[in-house]
Structure 1
Amino acid sequence: MANPRGVVVFDVVGTLVGFESWHLAIDKIIGTKLKTHGITAQMFGYTWMTHAELEYTFLCMSERYTPYRNVMKATFYRTLGMAGVANPRDAFTDDERDRCQAGYAALELRPGAKECIEILRAAGFDVWCLTTADLARVQGYFTRGGVDMPAESFVSCDQHGVAKPALAAYEPVFTKCKAIGEAWFAAGHMWDVAAAKKVGFKGAYCSVYEKEDCLEIHGGEMDVMAETLPQMARRIVEVAR
C-alpha cells in the first residue's frame, strides 16, 4: 500500500482465527476417549493450549526461548494427566497427539475477519500481524480464508526470541509502525492489547473470543472496544478521523 495513513497490527490466533475447527478435530480423533474421563473436546483443547502458552511464556521469561509448536507437543500428556486421566500414555498415543496438533495448524478465519481487514484497508490502513506462531502456519490460515496477506506483513516472535506479552516483543513493531503513521494494535486478548498499549500503540479490543474483558485487572478501557471484528474495524476508522 502506497503511503498508508497508519498500520493496524493484529494478533492472529484467537483474534482473526477461531478454534471451532480444532475442537471438532480433537473430538473426531480422541473425543470418545476423552468422554470416558468426563472431558469435552473444547475443554481439553482450551486447557492444552493455555497450558502450552504458560510453559512457552515461562521459558521465554527465563531466557530459554522455545518455539510454541515444540512446547505444545511436549505438554499433551501432562495436560491429560492434569485433567484427570490417570495414565495418559497408556490411554492415548503419539499418533493421536500429532493428529490433534495438526488440527491446530488447520484453524480457520473467524466470520467477519475478511470484512474487518477490507474495512481497514479501504480506509487507508496497512494491516500487519504479530504472532507467537510459526509464519508458515499462520500464512496458511489467511490463504485458506481467501485473504491476501503479503509475507512482509507478518512478524513472528520466533524472529526475535521474545514472546508476547513481554514489552520487547511489541517495541520493534511499534517503532516501524510509527515511522509510517498511526500505530494500532488489535486483539481478542485483553492482556495482549493492554501490553501493546503500554509501549505506545493505540489499543483495539474485540470480545469475540474472551467474552469477558476483565477490565478491572487490565487498567481500564482501550481506545476501541467492540463485540465483532467488523465493528472493531469501523470504530478504529472513526477514532482515527
Structure 2
Amino acid sequence: MPQQQSKHVVFDVVGTCVSFDAYYECIDKVIGNKLRKETITPKHFGFTWQTVAELEFTFFSISGRYCQYKEVMRAMFYRSLFLAGVSDPRTFATDAERDQCIEGYTSLRLRPGCQECFQILREGGFTVWCFTTGDIQRVRGYFQRENVDIPLENFVTCDTAGVAKPAMAAYKSVLGKLGQDSENWFAAAHMWDVSAAVKAGFKGAYCTVYEKEPCEEIFGDKMTVTEDTLPEMARAIVSSSRS
C-alpha cells in the first residue's frame, strides 16, 4: 500500500489565533484619557501604531536590512502619534508610557475556539504549525498561558531566516521544512498573508474574524476555504482535504 501523505496546517498567530484586544485595552489604560482629548480612540491609535510598525518592518526586509518587529514597533511610537494627529508627541507621552503600551502585546489572548480549531485539525490527521513575525518566546507564551499545546519545534519565526512575510522566501522556507509532497495549508485572518502563501505553494484557508472584508477584488481568487470562525475554518479544511 502507498504511504499515507502527511498533512500540515501552518497558522499565522497574532491577529489570527490571538486577538489584539488586550493590546488596545493596555493603551486605553496607559494613555487613553490623553488620546480621547485629541479625539483619538485607543483602538484606532493602536491599529495605526501596529500598522505603521508592520509597514516599516516589511520595508526593512524588502531592502535587505532585517530588523526585529519589536524594535521597529518601539521606534514607531512617536511617529505614529504624530500621524494620528498629535502635534507634539514627545511632550504628549513618555518612553515609560510607550514601554507600558508595548507590554500589552505580551498579554494578548487566544481567540474563542482556537483550542477547538487545533483539536479538529489534529483529529483530522493534520500537524499544526505556527509561523510568526514575532519572537517565539513571546508568541508561544500566548498558548502556554491558556494550556494550548504547540510543541516548540512547531514554531517558526521570520527572525530565523531574516526575511519577513509576505516575501515568497519566507513562505518557501516553511514549505522546505514540511516537504513539497505533503498536503500543506496556510491559515490566517490576514488576507495579504494567506494569499501570498497560496502564491508560494500552500492551499489557503482564510478566517474573517479579524478583517471582516476579504477584499477579493484586489487579492485575487477566493481561498480554498473561507469561514467566519476558527472552528468552522478547521472543519472546512478537514472536509476539503485529500483522504
Check if 1:155 corresponds to 2:161: no
1:170 deviation in Å? 0.3
1:5 deviation in Å? 3.4
Residue identity opposite 1:206 in structure 2: C
Contact 1:167 1:196 in 2 (8 A): yes
2:137 match? 136
CA distance in 2, matches of 1:59, 1:33: 31
Post-superposition Cα deviations, 1:178-227, rounded to whole Å, max 9, x if no partner, equal: 35721000000011111111111000000000000000001110110101
1:106 deviation in Å? 1.3
Post-superposition Cα deviations, 1:135-167, rounded to whole Å, max 9, x if no partner, equal: 111011111121011110000000000000000
1:193 match? 194
CA distance in 1, matches of 2:201, 2:56: 27
Gaps of 5+ in 2: none
Contact 2:129 2:155 in 1 (8 A): yes
Over aligned residues, Cα RMSD in angstroms? Answer: 1.2
Residue identity opposite 2:149 in structure 1: D
Contact 2:5 2:183 in 1 (8 A): no
2:119 match? 118
Could you tell me the percent identity over the aligned residues? 57
Runs of 4+ in structure 1 displaced over 4 angstroms? Answer: none
Residue identity opposite 2:9 in structure 1: V
Residue identity opposite 1:75 in structure 2: M
1:105 deviation in Å? 1.6
Secondary structure at 1:31 match in 2:
helix
Q: Any residues of structure 2 matched to 1:40-189 within 5 Å, and which?
A: 40-178=41-179, 181-189=182-190
1:122 deviation in Å? 1.0
Residue identity opposite 2:104 in structure 1: G
1:224 match? 225
Residue identity opposite 1:16 in structure 2: C
2:27 match? 26
Residue identity opposite 2:232 in structure 1: Q
1:236 match? 237
CA distance in 2, matches of 1:118, 1:8: 12
